[in-house]
Amino acid sequence: MLAELIAEGVTLGSLYALIAFAFVITFRATETLNFALGSFLVMGGLVTAELSVNAHLGFWPAFAISCALVTATSMLIERFLVRPMIGRTLFVLGVLTIGVDLIISTLTQHVIGDKVFPLGDPWGSKVLSFATVSLPASRLSALIVALAIGVGFALWFRYTTWGIAMRAAAEDSATAALMGVRLGRVSMVAWAISGLIAGIAGMFLSTFPTLGADPTLRDVAFSTFPAAALGGFDSTTGAVVGGMLIGLVTAITQGYESHLTFLGASLHTIVPYVALVVILLINPNGLFGTREVSRV
């Protein structure tokens, strides 16, 4: 039973790690905490479902179009809303994305209503068994995709000129600009990546355990804040580690919460936030992040 919970935690954690990574990448590039990422997740699931089932396009074409759409939305937001406001405070940029989130989530909520939007995905409710552990097929695919993306980006950041440019811009944008890095391009790419990841993660999170496009994914995005906070919001390593940790803790709590009913019916939904408070109490800068020293 515990082995299964751990397996579940790892697969869930990989998705959380992806989402946390998406938060961190936009924060590093544009000093913006993208509150709208949650509604991107919902969009990813909803558009895939709508195109795949209702428009009869089939799952994979629908998924591709959905990812393109979410990526494009993210890039438009960066270009026309965030970029003109670079230099404003964290608060202003953050509330800006809250405004965007309000618009998108209202629209998605309106479309979904209380209807069910199945995605027509190839995994369905198939379950694969390894020894004593059984995992939903979609979760396993999610893990594989997340790993691929994670490794891919790690290599990309390290070895390609683009990746190096982005890391340079995140560390010291003024110097990077002087060295020829186009900061506008960097932030565009960061938000594009973030949008793409949201589209992919949103699709996976809408296949299991829900029956279809799920408006509560917005809350899921917020529950990955602790993962991003673990890295102080500007460490991708911290985000990934944090995501896995949060995923594991959530899955294990969910497994045992029937024994803990005195703490409420669905303890696992708030375990990430409790973890957040603990992390921030230990170190307000996150456990992995770069410390800022204020010069007098």
H or E segment to which residue 16 belongs? helix 2-30
Q: Applying CB under 8 A, does 223 fall inside the site for other proteins? A: yes
Q: Applying CB under 8 A, does 296 fall inside the site for other proteins? A: yes
Q: Which of 2, 56, 87, 113 contacts other proteins by CB under 8 A?
A: 113
Looking at the Cβ atoms of 128 and 171, the one nearer to other proteins is 171
CB of 156 to other proteins, least distance (A): 26
C-alpha distances in angstroms, 276 versus 198, 229, 265, 270, 285? 22, 7, 20, 10, 12
CB of 143 to other proteins, least distance (A): 26
Q: How far apart are CA 121 and CA 63, in angstroms?
A: 9
Q: Which two tokens stand for residue 202?
A: 């949103």
Looking at the Cβ atoms of 10 and 229, the one nearer to other proteins is 229
Looking at the Cβ atoms of 55 and 274, the one nearer to other proteins is 274
Site for other proteins in 53-112 (CB under 8 A): 81, 84-85, 88-92, 94-96, 98-103, 106-107, 109-110
Q: What is the dihedral of CA 119, 120, 122, 123, to 10 degrees?
A: 50
Asked if 199 contacts 70 with a C-beta cutoff of 8 angstroms, the reply is yes
Q: Whole-angstrom distance between the N-terminal and C-terminal Cα of the chain?
A: 55
Q: Which of 1, 56, 87, 114 contacts other proteins by CB under 8 A?
A: 114
CB of 266 to other proteins, least distance (A): 8
C-alpha distances in angstroms, 53 versus 22, 61, 243? 28, 11, 31
Looking at the Cβ atoms of 162 and 273, the one nearer to other proteins is 273
Q: Applying CB under 8 A, does 219 fall inside the site for other proteins? A: yes
CB of 110 to other proteins, least distance (A): 5
SS3 239: helix
Q: How far apart are CA 117 and CA 43, in angstroms?
A: 12
Q: How far apart are CA 150 and CA 48, in angstroms?
A: 23
Q: How far apart are CA 117 and CA 58, in angstroms?
A: 14
Q: Which of 29, 33, 42, 200 contacts other proteins by CB under 8 A?
A: 33
**CA angle, corner 147, sides to 142 and 148, nearest 5?**
100
Looking at the Cβ atoms of 171 and 219, the one nearer to other proteins is 219
Looking at the Cβ atoms of 156 and 222, the one nearer to other proteins is 222
As beta bridge partners, residue 129 has 134
CB of 176 to other proteins, least distance (A): 22
Site for other proteins in 127-166 (CB under 8 A): none
Q: Applying CB under 8 A, does 258 fall inside the site for other proteins? A: no
CB of 109 to other proteins, least distance (A): 8
SS3 292: coil
SS3 99: helix
By CB under 8 A, name the binding residues for other proteins: 33, 81, 84-85, 88-92, 94-96, 98-103, 106-107, 109-110, 113-114, 219, 222-223, 225-226, 228-229, 233, 263-266, 269-270, 272-274, 276-277, 280-281, 284-286, 294, 296
